[in-house]
Amino acid sequence: MTQKPYVIDQMISAKSIAARIEDLAAEIATEYAGTDKLVVVGLLRGSFVFIADLVRELDLPVEVDFLEASSYGDGMESSREVRILKDLRGQIEGRDVLVVEDIVDTGHTLHQVIDMLQTRKPARLKSIALLDKPTRREVDMKATWTGFEIPDEFVVGYGIDYAQRNRNLPYIGKVRFT
């Protein structure tokens, strides 16, 4: 795939992201107070930075696991066909589970992952997304907690990529093609 030239304009600063994660972690800790161990499931690859920062802010016992689901490949548009590329290593039956997603766009990925995990009979299954693009929603799916609602822009940074690039940016940036 040949990429068009582009520049990245900062949309959400690293400082704003850190502050929001601190607030979200406090809400989650309150929700799961008394839980002996919360299973935090990161959806790879985009959530890896978010999940790392989030679990370090959680003041409760957590187990971390990962699920790799893909609906984008190297493109900018969702294929709407969600494929599971890596499944959980642990069991979640009877456990409290928090699914961590980088961005809810069309809603297909989170919807299909939640449906699949429900079949494994967790005690509670909730979700958190760093970013939400409600104007792009094609299925009725909203994360339990959301970091930031954003307009319909193609974004990168803080774990989110464009053709496997720009995940390492400490902020969320809007891609502008030149």
Active site (annotated) includes residue 96? no
Contact 163, 148 (CB under 8 A): no
d(CA 87, CA 119): 14
Q: Which residues contact 2 (CB under 8 A, 6 or more apart)?
A: none
Residue 32: which of 122, 99, 98 has the closest Cα? 98
Closest CA to 117 of 4, 41, 175, 29: 41
Active-site option among 105, 115, 132, 140? 105
d(C-alpha 157, C-alpha 49), whole Å:
9
C-alpha span between 10 and 54 (Å, rounded): 21
Residues 6+ apart with CB under 8 A from 136: 105, 106, 152
Residues tagged active-site: 105
